[in-house]
Structure 1
Amino acid sequence: MPGTLTAMPDEPAATTTEDAGGGITGLGIASAVLGVVSVVAVVLAFVIWSGHRSDSAERTYQTEVLQTAVDWTNVLINMNQGSLDESLRTLHDGTVGQLSADFESTVEPFKQLVTKLQSQTTGQVESVSIESLHHDPPGQAPAEDQPELSSVASRTDTVIVVATSLSRNAGAQEPQTVRWNLRLGVSDVDGKLLISRLETLR
């Protein structure tokens, strides 16, 4: 009818994260909790990824340490009269520290044996394993028997090598079997792995 006023439907109230009294509603709390959970999940994922990456890098490094020990040992146990000087030079180039300084006297018994017997030797590594790992906290000197290594080597690992060689000596009827049980120190010097210790185990 003309002149009759009709009531308009109420407008829906705007949804907010605060109630009329200024407090936080359930939706606001849920949003905050979800945000915290997301941050924690991201941090946790990063920690797990970093740990996995660190473990992977350590395994790769240990493999390189073992290979260095095997390569150096192979030269030592395959020294022959015809290649003696070259073998000794290769061995010396792969050493550091006290072993490098005392190289001549350390390998003299091996050199004399090859020279005296005029042997033709064929050797192979049977097993190799890391005996111990050595890490130094930042600012702390290595607890080693070679303190001079602390200024050049960032890390030293001890490797046990077991090998066998067959030596055919001049005039001998049967080849002689030689067992090798060695303890080697493998040191990281500016990213290059070098032998810093040679010990024959009984």
Structure 2
Amino acid sequence: MPDEQTRGLSVYGVAAMVFGVVGVAAAVLATMIWSGHRSAVAERVHQTEVLQAAADWTGLLINLNSDTAAQNLQQLRDGTIGQLNVEFDNTVEPFTDLVAKLDSKTVGQVESVSIETLQHRPGDPPGAAEPEQPELATVASRTDTVLVVATSVSQNAGAEPTTVRWNLRLDISDVDGKLLISQLEAIR
């Protein structure tokens, strides 16, 4: 009779161990799924912020008027880093003078923004691209490339309005949590 009782407990013991292993596996799987979901959500939030930064910066660029040119150009410069920032220093004053002289009025609108590339380096978070400017590698945690399509209508004093179509490729670099434009390229 003791053999039957031991055998019954043995079957229940094995069943309990199987259910225990299944429970642990389910908990590990649920944790992995939750962690993956949180990472995906964090990546989408970052991409949205990158797209917004590109749209905001381009909005300043395509809405230059003679009375706000100096302020807009300073905001554009403050939103850049690297070689683009140096180039702004060299062109801001002459461009501001030209806009004022022409009494230019420009109204523009960003039509679309999209992330062009998501490149990965070993150990980097998803979306991290290799910066083209080596000096940015030490300060930027990641760089995303964004395509921007916009249209502006510009009118100089005494001239007919001119429509300008903007097709831009911007590199947006994350520098200590601040998104800055590190490269600007016009696409034809």
Q: Report the TM-score range of the alignment, normalised by the length of the smaller protein.
A: 0.7 to 0.9
Identity of aligned residues (%): 62
Give, in angstroms, the shift of residue 90 of structure 1. 0.4
What is the TM-score when the length of structure 1 is the normalising length? 0.82
Give, in angstroms, the shift of residue 103 of structure 1. 1.8
Q: Does 1:118 align with 2:103?
A: yes
- 1:1-202 alignment to 2 at 5 Å? 18-19=6-7, 25-105=10-90, 111=96, 114-115=99-100, 117-138=102-123, 143-172=130-159, 174-202=160-188
Range with greater deviation from structure 2 (75-84 or 24-33): 24-33
Amino acid aligned to 2:46: Y
Contact 1:99 1:197 in 2 (8 A): yes
* RMSD over equivalenced CA pairs, Å: 2.5
Unaligned runs of 5+ in 1: 1-11
Higher helix share: 2
Give the 3-state SS of the residue equivalent to 2:67 in structure 1: helix
Paired residues in the alignment total 184
Give, in angstroms, the shift of residue 134 of structure 1. 3.6
What is the TM-score when the length of structure 2 is the normalising length? 0.87
Contact 2:70 2:96 in 1 (8 A): no
Give, in angstroms, the shift of residue 133 of structure 1. 1.8
